[in-house]
Structure 1
Amino acid sequence: MSSAEPTRIGIDEQVERIRAGYERIGALEAYAAVEAGEALLVDTRYQALRERDGLIPGALVVERNELEWRLDPSGSHRTPAATSHDLRWIVLCNEGYASSLAVESLHRLGLHRATDLVGGFQAWKAAGLPVADPA
């Protein structure tokens, strides 16, 4: 009797497959969507990065390990902003890799409009968009 080994792919290929399933958003487009009230920005960077590089004014800070619990509108630990599965969440991490994995998880929860920021916080900052010093 032979047992089949599971198919293995590396993380780079996995991220590319995930990204092929949705449209990502650039920093300027994300800023415009948030300013127009069409999307909510979620910063999943860990505290040390926020302290080092600053905060995006108005972004909801939810570290990655809490993301699904905070954004699922049917969840018991949701943030008050998580009012519908139809919200457009824009997830950002430091450079735009972990956020892609997070979006896949949010899609599985039914948050079908979730996307992530190409290049993450570093792209936001490089575009000259607002960043506040962590207080």
Structure 2
Amino acid sequence: MSGPRPVGIDELLERAREDLDRVEAAEAYEAAEAGRALLVDTRYAALRERDGVIPGALVVERNELEWRLDPHGSHRAPQATSHDLRIVVICNEGYASSLAALSLRQLGLHRATDLVGGFQAWKAAGFPVTAA
């Protein structure tokens, strides 16, 4: 029995990023401020409590992401209005968010991407963060 060649996580991440037009913190901030992007924080509660949150970002833990952002899903968030929505997925350091953005693209959310360096890059760049 022969199947597809196993792929390691580094290769999987590289493949995922080939299809994403990843954004830096400044671009994500400007797009969110102008209403051109929805920032989605997928970090787990302990990280949000430790480091804070991005004001206005939708918090959706990773295990619920596809259900909450599918515009046709029965459990969608009110912000999930269209497959044309520009979504910037944010994890802690910008690794898991790339895989999450790819998953959203597979659902038809063709403008989904992620934040290079994740929340830590946002915070280091001096963009707004509030206590969780």
The interval holding the TM-score normalised by the smaller chain is over 0.9
Superposition deviation, residue 102 in structure 1: 0.5
Gapped regions of structure 1 (runs ≥ 5): none
2:41 maps to amino acid? D
RMSD (Å) for aligned C-alpha atoms: 0.8
Listed as ranges, the matches of 1:71-90 within 5 Å are 71-90=69-88
Cα pair 2:38 2:57 within 8 Å, conserved: yes
C-alpha distance in 1, partners of 2:3/2:38?
41
Which residue is 1:46 aligned to?
44
Give CA deviations for 1:92-116 in whole Å, capped at 9, x if unaligned.
Answer: 0000011011011101100000000
- The amino acid that maps onto 2:95 is Y
Counterparts of 2:80 and 2:19 in 1: how far apart (Å)? Answer: 23
- Output the CA distance in 1 between the equivalents of 2:117 and 2:12: 17
Q: How does 1:50-129 map to 2 (within 5 A)?
A: 50-129=48-127
| Alignment partners' CA distance in 2, 1:56 and 1:94 | 12
- State yes or no: 1:17 paired with 2:15: yes
SS in 2 for 1:78: coil
The one-letter code of the counterpart of 2:80 is: A
Paired AA for residue 7 in structure 1: R
TM-score by length of 2: 0.98
**Residue in 1 that maps onto 2:2:** 4
TM-score using structure 1 length: 0.95
Q: How many residues in Structure 1 have an aligned counterpart in Structure 2?
A: 132
Q: Give the Cα–Cα distance (whole angstroms) in 2 for the partners of residues 132 and 115 of structure 1.
A: 23
Aligned-residue offset at 1:10 = 0.8
User: Structure 2: where are the runs of 5+ without partners?
Assistant: none
Q: Equivalent pairs: percent with the same residue? A: 73
Cα pair distance change 1:71/1:5, threshold 3 Å:
closer
> 2: CA distance between counterparts of 1:5 and 1:107?
25
